[in-house]
Amino acid sequence: MPAITVLPHPEICPQGATIHAPTGTSICEALLDHDIPIEHACEMSCACTTCHVIVRQGYASLGEPTEEEEDLLDKAWGLAPTSRLSCQARLGSQDVTIEIPRYTINHARERH
């Protein structure tokens, strides 16, 4: 199983983490399954950019983004050449390292 190394994020994952998930699992699903509460306002349907991540290592193992994903990424805060929507980026056989950007297009979040 490939590993996902999550770089520290002040709110979502302050200490950083390393988790494992089966090949074919989306990064978003893997994070949520391991209690890392990444935003996903569209419920992983490729309709927003709240689950945006920057892949720091292992980008090539994720497969190519679709045109729809690339169009949405143009709206993401902190876009980088290796940005992906974590709901669309499915794990290959290699380990990946990701950074969750500090901000998303959601300026306010509801906390109940």
Question: To which H or E segment does residue 71 belong?
Answer: helix 67-73
Can you give the pLDDT at residue 1? 94
Can you give the pLDDT at residue 102? 86
Can you give the pLDDT at residue 83? 97
Helix (H, G, I), strand (E, B) or coil at 13: strand
91 vs 84: CA distance, rounded Å: 12
Helix (H, G, I), strand (E, B) or coil at 73: helix
Q: Which of 111, 112, 1, 2 is nearest to 55 (CA)?
A: 2
The residue ranges of every structural domain in the chain are: 3-99
Superfamily classification of domain 3-99 = Beta-grasp domain (3.10.20.30)
Residue 31 · residue 21 · CB < 8 Å: no
Can you give the pLDDT at residue 33? 97
State pTM to two decimals: 0.91
Can you give the pLDDT at residue 112? 43
Can you give the pLDDT at residue 103? 75
73 burial (CB, 10 Å; 0-12 / 13-18 / 19+) is: middle
* Average pLDDT per block of 10 residues along the chain, 112 residues long: 96 96 97 95 91 97 94 91 97 97 65 47
Going through 16-104 in order, the beta strands assigned E by DSSP cover 17-20, 52-57, 83-85, 96-99
